[in-house]
Amino acid sequence: MLKNFLTPDLYPAMPEIFLLVMACVILLVDAFLGKAQRWITGALTLISLVGCALITYQTMDGQVVLTFSNMFVDDLLGDFLKLLLYLAVIVVLIYSRDYLVARQLDKGEFYLLVLFATLGMMVMISASHFLTIYLGLELLSLSLYALVALDRDSPRAVEAAMKYFVLGALASGLLLYGMSMVYGATGTLEIGGVAQALHLGVANKTVLVFGLVFLVAGIAFKLGAVPFHMWVPDVYHGAPTPITLLIASAPKLAAFAMAMRILVFGLFELAQHWQSMLMLLAVLSIAVGNLAAIAQTNLKRMLAYSAISHMGFLLLALMSGVVGPDRHFALIAYTSAMYYVVAYVMMSLGAFGVILLLSRAGYEAEHLDDLKGLNQRSPWFAAVMLALMFSMAGVPFFVGFFAKFSVLLAVIDAGYIGVAVFAVLFSLIGAFYYLRIVKLMYFDAPSDAAPLAASPDMRFLLSLNGVAVAAFGLFPDALMTLCTSALLRSL
């Protein structure tokens, strides 16, 4: 057997290998550091992510390369999403530093768990085999379970971690069961092999459709779509705000990649089956997310239900790629889905960044009233939050408006005019809770007159985040072109 063993090409997986090696180095270095030197661990973590970005950029040649017995793929879609992933995690670490130091949570395990979660997301993004997807997903999930419970003295955080763990284990079981049925129906777990078996008509479609139901349920859980959304508000609310910031941003890129790999790259021939499932999930998510968000007084819970409604829009784009046998609209629809998830991550980072900016030692800024009079305390950061809320609401001309507009165009092109009208109506309903925040910031007296204390790098990055939301709204073509190119050279 060893005679026939072929050494895999390690070059496409160099970013993952580098990050794993650096995580092990940081683990050893951190063991010898005291509290006063904890900044070294944070600096090494940021250096590791920048190194991954440089390696990914160097290996990005636009070719589709399979390695590890076709279990791992290096393509332009994966490279582009990984670069965005590194950027999102770097932003999370910089936004979180002051908060963690003030609460003595800037421990070595925080940085290590973030790195292992990032590694899991990277594996998910580049997976071309169901087992690789599952390995990446579990590495991400287990890291997030531990991160949610990082503040061990907080009963709320521990409770949220337990709920997340139990429901996450259930979702992983559903996903695994779906994968086993795919294997039984096609005889392979390679995503390309499953697509080929379907194309040649040698797969047992009845068994495959049953497996598809479980796969879609697993994907919906990771995206936080209704009715698999139960964990989202509790985890967003219970976790320390930096962990909420991480969960709300970077994993959405990996979940999008997982949905694309499984549904589009692997099970495209069954589009007429998973389209109807995604439509139901999308409609429910948009309705429940927007209606439940109106009733929230906790800012983190409100943004959690907002995230559910945004994931509904993402699913609308994914379901619009095929109209019967016609695949002409596939690239437009999947480009709009990718554009939407990138825009959402950008907006989510900024929104939770403002919450972290308002928080200080011994004070959690997580209620709507904590935003009262922000314009009097800091006109600039009130303007940043205004841009973020307008963008999330879909007000022209911010990046969120063009994200929603591109999705609605894809839905209309696919012939689902009724669904598009429904989405627009609920977006108008959802605008209420975003505009309520603007009203609190600009028209109410501040309940807290304490100055905003934050490091210069966080202030600069948060300002840049707000400007980016506005700039990509004024010039949406640049990001849209990148998304189109990445998909065109990977599909």
Longest pairwise C-alpha distance within the chain: 76
CA distance 456 to 473: 26
Cα–Cα nearest to 479, from 387, 385, 346, 350:
346
> What is the reported pTM?
0.95
**For residue 472, what are the contacts with CB-CB under 8 A and spacing of at least 6?**
343, 346, 399, 402, 478, 479
* Residue 344 contacts residue 223 (beta carbons within 8 Å): no
State residue 118's pLDDT score.
96
Q: Helices (DSSP H) in 394-445: which residue ranges? A: 399-413, 417-443
CA distance 59 to 79: 9
DSSP bridge pairs for 102: none
The whole-number pLDDT of residue 213 equals: 94
Please choose, from the candidates 131, 154, 155, the residue with its C-alpha nearest in 3D space to the C-alpha of residue 72: 131
Q: CA 255 to CA 79: how far, in whole Å? A: 15
| pLDDT of 143 | 96
Q: What is the pLDDT of residue 420?
A: 94
The whole-number pLDDT of residue 326 equals: 57
User: Which pLDDT tens digit goes with each residue over 266-313?
Assistant: 999 888 889 999 999 999 999 999 999 999 989 999 999 999 999 999
Look-up: residue for tokens 């007159």? 449
Backbone angles phi, psi at 107, to 5 degrees: -95, 160
- From the CB of residue 436, how many other CB atoms can be counted at a distance below 10 Å? 15
**Token pair listed for 90:** 């770097």
E-assigned strands of 301-440?
Answer: none
Closest Cα to residue 121, out of 222, 230, 232?
A: 222
Look at residue 1 in the predicted model and tell me its pLDDT: 47
pLDDT of residue 10: 85
Which of 35-39's residues contact partners 24+ apart within 8 Å by CB, and which partners? Answer: 38/106, 38/107, 38/108
DSSP character at residue 363: B
Which parts of the chain register pLDDT below 50? 1
Phi, psi values for residue 278, rounded to 5°: -65, -35
The Cα–Cα gap between 369 and 448 comes to: 9
Residue ranges per structural domain of the chain? 10-488
